[in-house]
Amino acid sequence: MNRILTVVRGHKNEAMATASRFIAACVEAGMQAGPDVADAEVIVAIGGDGTVLGAAAQAIERSLPVCGINVGRVGYLAEFEPSEISELVTALRTDSFSFDERATVGVTVGETTSYAVNDIVVEKVMSQRIIEIAVRINGEPLATYRADGIIAATPLGSTAYSLSAGGPIVSPELNALVLTPVAPHSLLSRSIVLAPDAEVELTLKGERPGSINVDGRHVMQVAPGTPIHIKRGQPNVQFLSLGQHPFPQAVREQFGLDHA
């Protein structure tokens, strides 16, 4: 790969300095790299997991692979550290890497569909008021939750908001959809792990509206009675990998776990 599009979110000194180092190393290796590269073959995000998520959204739209160089706190989505820039540049120059296909999750309201790498969240709008969400799975009623919201997460997103709401950690190699209620006032308070082809329909009951967030980005407000359809996304996202950080290591490093 000779044309690399770089994405740096924000203007933190460390991220900008790391991006400059990476671009310089690419240019020295005879490649084009930078934020304005035309006809890019890969997107490299420099920053934290939020930066990688933003770059992944671009990658899905443009049918490109993506990878991340982690800057700052320990990252789960960014495979490479700044100390590994030379290894990444060599891999890009020689095409000596693999692709990890990761599932996305899509949400459709009316004629509008959005895709997430981590999660779709349907949540309350008014901070002091919970909402009622009726859930159907493959057309069958499951339950009506009185809660702050519901998270529909991919396996990759299971370590993000879903985990903080009490959801399980799911290996990204496992094709599944994880439904997790947020602060439910219900006997059914645990996550539900669904098959990859499951189709979920959420409908707000009562009079309170809800908000739909896609990978942390607000996309719309929905009125009660509006069907919200959630299922696995049609496009996957391809993460460029050198296989240096397997799943157990990534989890261990993200959460600072001890190991034998």
- Cα 91 from chain centroid (whole Å): 24
Contact between 224 and 209 under an 8 Å Cβ cutoff? The reply is yes
* Helix 85-94, helix 13-28: angle, nearest 10: 40
Distance CA 189, CA 98 (A): 39
The CB density around residue 121, as the number of other CB atoms within 10 Å, is 26
Structure-token pair, residue 45: 């995000």
The CB density around residue 73, as the number of other CB atoms within 10 Å, is 8
Contact between 57 and 31 under an 8 Å Cβ cutoff? The reply is no
Structure-token pair, residue 4: 């690399």
The reply to whether 49 belongs to the active site is yes
Catalytic residue, from 39, 49, 100, 148: name it: 49
- DSSP reduced 3-state for 162: helix
Q: Using alpha carbons, select from 247, 235, 246 the residue that is nearest to residue 101.
A: 235
Catalytic residues: 49
